[in-house]
Structure 1
Amino acid sequence: MQDRAVLASVVIPAHNEERVIPRTLARLQHGLPPGSLDVVVVCNGCTDGTAAAARRAAPGARVLEIQQPSKTAAVRAGNGATDVFPRVHLDADVELSGRDLVALVRPLQDGRVLATAPRRVLRREHTPWLVRSYYDVWEQLPQVRSGLFGRGVIALSAAGQARVSALPPLMSDDLATSDAFSADERRVVEEAEVVVVAPGTVRDLVRRRTRVATGNSQAADHGARRPESVTTWRALGRLALARPALALRLPVFIGIALVARAASRGAVRRGDYSTWLRDESSRA
């Protein structure tokens, strides 16, 4: 039975996140009294000190350890360990404060909004020009602005969680979650913000985007991707006309997108949707 004093549950899958999990957990506690959140950290297939680091950083959190290095399995274990709603799914390498979490879950209380995500603050001050240029374009795409994906955190009501739990296991789980809801059922909460660190190298950006392209292909094959979440040439043209300053950056965006899509084809042909091309530079 849910304790009325508990505001929300937070499920954090963590695979070899020893370097960043203390920061994430410390930020999550900022602005909230102890015991306000039911935090479940699921260390999956870790070969470092992630579990010990999590226990030190948040003694009140429950830290589970599973052998399988799988985000899907970790999320499933985390969901099974708590019955508290709203439920916040948080990546281990992003920063969301307790105060921002309060704003994030507030719209879920009325029953009409089923899923929320915070405004994205993308840290890219220490990234190369090519990486910054890519994200200058990416962040202005309509689906990126309105969708819940690419933020590292999504909050769900009980009804929203039930809908997401019915989805097939997919690599691009945040895209599938976002596209599981209509525009009226989901909301980007501008009063809340999450800090996401951009890749520190072009190579790591390509790795990250290759993983996304692979996952997007899988989601499309399963019918879990809405047409409006696809980036089209027409959308890029409209963006260039509306924001002429971005026109010089469009070749960078297109070039990296094409390289990533080409790199993903082998995995798609093999049906390999489990190899996680991890960006290590953003965890430095």
Structure 2
Amino acid sequence: MTNAWERRVPAAGVVIPAHDEAAVIERNLRLLLSGVEPGVLEVVVVANGCSDDTAEVARSVGGVRVVEIEEPSKARALMVGNAALNLFPRVQVDADCAIAGPDVLRIVESLARPGIQAAGPARRVELSRSSRLVRAYYRVWERLPHVRQGLFGRGVIALSEEGQARVDGLPPMMSDDLGVSEAFSPEERVVVDSAVVVVRAPRTFGDLIRRRIRVATGNTQADREGVRPPGAGTSIMMLVRLGLADPKLAPDLLVFLGTTVVARSMSRRRVRAGDYSTWLRDESSRTA
């Protein structure tokens, strides 16, 4: 197995699980490969269970290898993609997130720091096409301490070889990025502020609810698997402190709290049924 640091170049293997992402994957792949020398990033796209032409669109981008599997499973796609790669560090990139090649390299470089096993970029949530309620929700969400410090919800996570081995031992989870983030102590993971990923928010409140139902279901699964430490989620006292620090945030806090209550309530039926595989996807953020 080739190690990037032995090559004396900032290089990494990149795995991109993609399920019906034809509308956005070409744009995001070209951005990923921009600004870096050919071959520095070994990119594998795993088109999983696609009903559109995701694989064909991805193949049209030079410097990308495409693997197709029939099963629509992100966990399986990551497994297949990692098996197809030869290079460490390893970077997992969600197909609907936008990050440039130089930013990926900045994340990878941070793994050279002593003790750091996992890293992610700063997150910029794109809200320009989102409704007022969606924007209100994210104004609170982005201020939450665990959201600011964790590696989840960024769509990009870089792992050292040791870090990848640790992640490979995790149970399959709906909120896979949460599982990865919590697999490392705060001293072992880092958010690289000089690297930025663009995460597109839902456009409508209904789409936001769909996304948050999925997150709530995944959080419950993570709690039951013992992946999250006690008290890792959002508490009422946390929201109260945000409101006291910035009273103008009060209307947004009401939107956030209402959204959370609805999403958790609607996720309970899935949890009771043990349904941790139905992926409620927000399609509105995937328009070209």
Give the distance between the partners of 2:193 and 2:60, measured in 1 at CA: 32
Which residue of 2 is the match for residue 31 of structure 1?
35
Q: 2:12 aligns with which of 3, 8, 12?
A: 8
Task: Write the mapping of 1:126-165 to structure 2, written as runs, cut at 5 A.
Answer: 126-165=129-168
Task: Write the mapping of 1:114-133 to structure 2, written as runs, cut at 5 A.
Answer: 114-133=117-136
Give the distance between the partners of 1:202 and 1:135, measured in 2 at CA: 11
SS at match of 1:48: coil
Q: What runs of 5+ residues in structure 1 fail to find an aligned partner?
A: none
- Establish whether residue 270 from structure 1 lines up as the match of residue 285 from structure 2: no
Contact 1:7 1:37 in 2 (8 A): yes
- Establish whether residue 166 from structure 1 lines up as the match of residue 183 from structure 2: no
Which residue of 1 is the match for residue 191 of structure 2?
188
Which residue of 2 is the match for residue 254 of structure 1?
257
SS at match of 1:248: helix
Which residue of 1 is the match for residue 245 of structure 2?
242
Give the distance between the partners of 1:6 and 1:142, measured in 2 at CA: 31
Q: What runs of 5+ residues in structure 2 fail to find an aligned partner?
A: none
Contact 2:10 2:105 in 1 (8 A): no
Q: Percent identity?
A: 55
1:99-147 superposed Cα distances (whole Å, 9 cap, x missing partner): 1011111110134101011000110011110000000000000000001
Which residue of 2 is the match for residue 47 of structure 1?
51
Q: 1:77 aligns with which of 80, 84, 98?
A: 80
- Establish whether residue 62 from structure 1 lines up as the match of residue 65 from structure 2: yes
Give the distance between the partners of 1:217 and 1:279, measured in 2 at CA: 20
Letter in 2 for 1:33: E
- Establish whether residue 207 from structure 1 lines up as the match of residue 210 from structure 2: yes
TM-score (norm 1): 0.97
Contact 2:10 2:108 in 1 (8 A): no
Give the distance between the partners of 1:228 and 1:111, measured in 2 at CA: 28
Give the distance between the partners of 1:204 and 1:248, measured in 2 at CA: 20
Give the distance between the partners of 2:152 and 2:231, measured in 1 at CA: 13
Contact 2:136 2:255 in 1 (8 A): yes
Structure 1: 4+ residue segments shifted above 6 A: none
Give the distance between the partners of 1:136 and 1:180, measured in 2 at CA: 27
Q: Offset of 1:172 from its aligned partner?
A: 0.3
Q: Offset of 1:226 from its aligned partner?
A: 2.1
Give the distance between the partners of 1:22 and 1:264, measured in 2 at CA: 33
Contact 1:66 1:74 in 2 (8 A): yes
1:183-226 superposed Cα distances (whole Å, 9 cap, x missing partner): 10001100000001000111100000000000000000000012
Which residue of 1 is the match for residue 223 of structure 2?
220
TM-score (norm 2): 0.96
Worse overlay, 105-114 or 130-139: 105-114
Contact 1:120 1:195 in 2 (8 A): yes
SS at match of 1:206: helix
- Establish whether residue 97 from structure 1 lines up as the match of residue 97 from structure 2: no
Aligned-CA RMSD value: 1.1
Letter in 2 for 1:75: L
SS at match of 2:88: coil
1:245-278 superposed Cα distances (whole Å, 9 cap, x missing partner): 2122111000011110011011100000110000
Which residue of 2 is the match for residue 18 of structure 1?
22
Letter in 1 for 2:24: V
Give the distance between the partners of 2:122 and 2:232, measured in 1 at CA: 18
Letter in 1 for 2:93: L
Give the distance between the partners of 1:110 and 1:21, measured in 2 at CA: 32
Give the distance between the partners of 1:82 and 1:228, measured in 2 at CA: 37
Q: Offset of 1:242 from its aligned partner?
A: 1.2
